Structure 1
Amino acid sequence: MKEKLQDVLAKTRCLGCDTHELIFAPPAEEQEVAIVEEMLKLQIPDDFRAILRSLSAKVQCTWVLPDDFTLPNEFRGLFCGNMNWGLDSLKELNDNKDGWIREVFPNPGDSYDKIWHNKFVFQEVGNGDFLSIDLSPENTGKIIYLSHDDGEGHGYTMANSFTEFLARWVQIGCVGAEDWQWLPFVESKSSGIDPECPNAILWRKMIGL
């Protein structure tokens, strides 16, 4: 995974992108995870927990396209890549998510509000939305997009598990987490990011992945 992320940064740098230094921390110790779970008063979802313990406690991979970079219409909203998650941010992220539920989306009987409930947030999106893991019995472990302002991707499944999400996201260069950046790479609300769809193949060819 670390080598793949380094390759993403190298390839996007060749396109003239502004890239940030890759952060890829060592795996978290069990005690570190337990402390965060105690603060959360909630167990971190199993698949994500396993990644934190075996792969890395914190990952940041960021690149930004130059202003003059020409994109085909399929990717007109795409401007950056941003994978950014870690054990140290989980308490604040989920407190923020809970605040949105209390103040704006309190009604689980409402079709829009309901999507916010029973979710575990692992990354905040630059526009104020969130990437989350579903905790509901019928969809446990799925990666769900939470929009705070009627975004097109609200409620979309991005992957069936956190492990699958990482694998697929890296294949398309960790394109920005805003829904309009990754929606060109999904075919339906429930299909998830597909790194082999026609748009993904075109995009990967463009950036050399």
Structure 2
Amino acid sequence: MKDVTLFLSKWKQIIQKLENNNGKVHPIEIGKKATIQEIEAKEKELGYQLPPSYKYILNNLGSSLSFYYSFSEDTIIPSEFNEIFSGEINWNIDFLQDLNMLADELMEDGEDYGATLRGKLEFSHAGNGDIYAFDMSVESDEKPVVYWEHEEDTVTYIADSFIDYLLRITELGCIGSEKWQFEYFLSDTGLDTTNTAAAKWKHWFESFSETTLDDVKNNMEQLIAFAVYRDKLDEESIDFLRKFSRNELFDYLLEELDKKESFKDQKMICEVIGKVLGNYADSWVRSLWEAKQDIMDSRLRSFLTSMCLSKDEGLTLVFNFLEQESNKKITGYDALSHLGDFHSRDVILWMENHVKFPVTEGWDELFVRSNFSRDDIERWTSLDERHEVTVIHALEKYVYMKVANNKFFYGISGLPSKSDFIDFLAKLQAKQVLKKRILSLEYVIQNINIFY
């Protein structure tokens, strides 16, 4: 019984640690202990003798057990373990399943998909549908724990027995049940709690704590890492970053930008440059346009241009780029990704010559993000069909975006009174033939208060 008490003690410590650091936790739930008679009845039903260590846990701890946790978004997990986000253990005697039957069901058109399930007995599953099972084909009383990937139809060795599995996964903090979360620690003999990666992970897990802005606000490198990890740069973080030497900050950001591989991380570094340094980085941004070869994703260059150069200079550069690169076949998504951060009505003027169907593929959102006015609405609804439909879907998107985000900051200048605006929308609706456009305008009218 000592090992059962030890498991429970360690699991409670893990759960408590996550709760103390604002993690999301589903506490430990334990079913009643299974009697010897209930276990024997289950064995008779399945036609298998259950592994001794599994029966021991059922009889001395519980016939079922489950708990789950996920880390707080403000817990900075080391980058080498970036696929780990949660932890979990679960089993239930009632969910034991002979996978031979499942293998038979999965056979299609002569293909033996699911062949690796044969001789396996499921005792648990991962959140993505993969399966934890005992390999009943092994000729010993104890049966190894294996993991079946449903997409690849492959089996991975996890541990020598059920209790061995519990010992290993517990030592690793009960990390998430999906393979991509624990594969850092896999070897030919299953979960390896002694390899280099495991040692690093255990050291971090024992000492980690949720990171707050107060923890990193006085350390430039940590503050930038905090913003990149959270993929969020709020006004308070910007204020703290502006207290550092601009030259030192800029040099460090360029070093970090060169190191980052993912677009998301690069975008975050560019956001720090744009929002914190602004026109201090103007010469560097111009050099990105003058370079003879692309040294940065063009979308990031356009973003930096919107933040660091004057509106006139920046828009001229981006307009010319889009028109030259696309050979006048500019998609709405391209236009949005390059012009959406300028928030300028000059973009709406430029759009008049380039907008095309389908307008819902970026053009409507770009219209919203370019601070359109009453005059723009009236002008565009008097132009071609593509312009009128852009306005219809832009108004609909405006409502969606404002409902979804209380901090939505786009305003519409020059709006008429509420009754006059409803009359305008009703007349625009009456002109429509397609049901989709009629319903879009009906949605806008029903939510007219959003605009006031």
Cα distance in 1 between the residues matched to 2:14 and 2:95? 24
Aligned partner of 1:135 in structure 2 is 136
- On the 8 A contact 1:15/1:207 being kept in 2, the answer is no
Task: Give the aligned partner of residue 189 of structure 2.
Answer: 191
Q: Distance in 2 between matches of 1:26 and 1:70?
A: 37
TM-score with structure 2 setting the length? 0.41
Find the counterpart in structure 1 of residue 155 from structure 2.
155
Aligned partner of 1:117 in structure 2 is: 118
Sequence identity (%): 28
Distance 2:20 2:194 in 1: 23
1:31 is displaced (CA, Å) by 1.8
Which residue of structure 1 lines up, in the alignment, with residue 177 of structure 2? 177
Cα distance change, pair 12–197 in 1 and its aligned pair in 2 (3 A): farther
Higher RCO structure (Cα 8 Å, ≥6 apart): 1
Task: Answer yes or no: is the 8 Å Cα contact 2:145–2:161 preserved in 1.
Answer: yes
- Correspondence for 1:30: 36
Corresponding residue of 1:61: 67
* Equivalent residues of 1:79, 1:181 under 8 A apart: yes
Q: Tell me how far apart the structure 2 counterparts of residues 19 and 135 of structure 1 sit (CA, whole Å).
A: 33
Give the superposition deviation at 1:89.
Answer: 2.2
Q: 2:203 aligns with which of 202, 205, 208?
A: 205
SS in 1 for 2:191: coil
Determine the C-alpha separation between the residues in 2 that align with 1:18 and 1:136. Answer: 38
Q: Aligned letter for 2:145?
A: I
**3-state DSSP of counterpart to 1:177:** coil
Write the distance in 1 (CA, Å) between the matches of 2:86 and 2:16.
Answer: 14
User: What does 1:42-121 correspond to in 2, within 5 Å?
Assistant: 42-90=48-96, 94=97, 97-98=99-100, 100-104=102-106, 113-121=114-122
Q: Report which stretch shifted further, 136-145 or 74-83.
A: 136-145
The question of whether the paired residues in 2 share the 8 Å contact of 1:11 and 1:208 is answered with: no
Query: For 2:81 and 2:92, how far apart are their aligned partners in 1?
Result: 28
Q: Is the 8 A contact 2:100 2:120 kept in 1?
A: no
* Conserved 8 A contact 1:11-1:207: no
CA–CA separation in structure 1 for the residues paired with 2:114 and 2:79: 32
Give the count of matched residue pairs.
199
Is the 2:100–2:119 contact (alpha carbons within 8 Å) kept by the matching residues of 1? no
Letter in 2 for 1:199: A
Indicate the structure (1 or 2) with the bigger Cα radius of gyration.
2
* 1:196/1:173 CA distance change after superposition, 3 Å: same
Unaligned runs of 5+ in 2: 1-6, 208-452
State the secondary structure of the residue aligned to 2:203.
helix
Structure 1 unaligned spans of 5+: none
**Rounded Cα–Cα distance in structure 1 between residues aligned with 2:196 and 2:30:** 30
Counterpart CA distance in 2 for 1:67 and 1:177 is: 19
Q: Secondary structure at the match of 1:170?
A: helix
Alpha-carbon displacement from aligned partner over 1:124-157 (angstroms, at most 9, x marks no partner)? 1111110011111358611111111017xx3211
Structure 2 vs 1, CA of residues 74 and 85 (structure 1 numbering), >3 Å: closer, same or farther? same
Does the CA contact (< 8 Å) of 2:135 and 2:145 recur in 1?
A: yes
| Alpha-carbon offset, residue 42 of structure 1 | 3.0
- Secondary structure of the residue that 2:200 maps to in structure 1? helix
**Shift in Å at residue 83 of structure 1?**
0.2
More strand by share: 1
Partner SS, residue 117 of structure 2: coil
